[in-house]
Amino acid sequence: MLNKLSDFLSSIIAPASAGNRPEHTLQLATAVLLIEVMQSDADSTDEEQATILNILKERFHLSDAEVAQLSELGHRTATAANDLHQFTSLINRELELSEKVRIIEYMWQVAYADSQISAHENHLMRRMADLLHISHGDYIAAKTRARPADLK
């Protein structure tokens, strides 16, 4: 069973063919990173889950049913993944810097959803910025844009 899941994950995260941008795999990779932020602290909240669903819906222009399906697959994939490198490497291959910075901003929105940033969330965010080759300046700018007005 684990081999089948591993094979499935490898097939969807495989490099895109020339000229073909694998939007569904980018959606899944983005969902997994957002879910990892939510799960990085001890308390995953309804606010964090709702923030993830809203981001996925707006970012990818999905229906409620498609967002629910992507979220479910994202949760299963995040649970089964050994590391995040397969997702960040896909994003690095397929997206421009500005799009990767936007993903970091989305991740910060999830982290801020419960009005507190844990040490684990902070560590994960810094690690993700490094894996996505985001400069410190872009990282801080994304964090600042994502911070809710009541926390500024």
H helix and E strand count, the chain: 8, 0
Does residue 16 lie in a domain region? no
Share of the chain above pLDDT 70, in %: 85
d(CA 67, CA 55): 9
Q: What pTM did the predictor assign?
A: 0.84
Does residue 85 lie in a domain region? yes
pLDDT at 104: 98
d(CA 107, CA 124): 10
Packing angle of the helix pair 23-39, 119-131 (nearest 10 deg): 150
Does residue 8 lie in a domain region? no
Segment 34-57 shows an average pLDDT of 92
pLDDT digits (tens, 9 = 90+) for 82-95: 899 999 999 999 99
pLDDT at 123: 95
Domain at 142, CATH number: 1.10.3680.10
Residue type, 63: S
Q: Classify each residue of 61-79 as buried b or exposed e, where b means 16 or more C-beta atoms within 10 Å of its C-beta.
A: ebeeeebeebbebbbebbe
pLDDT at 15: 44
Does residue 17 lie in a domain region? no
Tell me which residue of 92, 73, 82 sits closest to 34, measured CA to CA. 73
Does residue 4 lie in a domain region? no
Contact 84, 36 (CB under 8 A): yes
Contact 39, 104 (CB under 8 A): no
Does residue 68 lie in a domain region? yes
pLDDT at 38: 94
Domain count, the chain: 1
Q: In terms of residue numbers, what domain contains 60?
A: 26-151
pLDDT digits (tens, 9 = 90+) for 87-134: 999 999 999 999 999 999 999 999 999 988 999 999 999 999 999 999
Does residue 128 lie in a domain region? yes
Whether 16 has a pLDDT exceeding 60, the answer reads no
Does residue 12 lie in a domain region? no
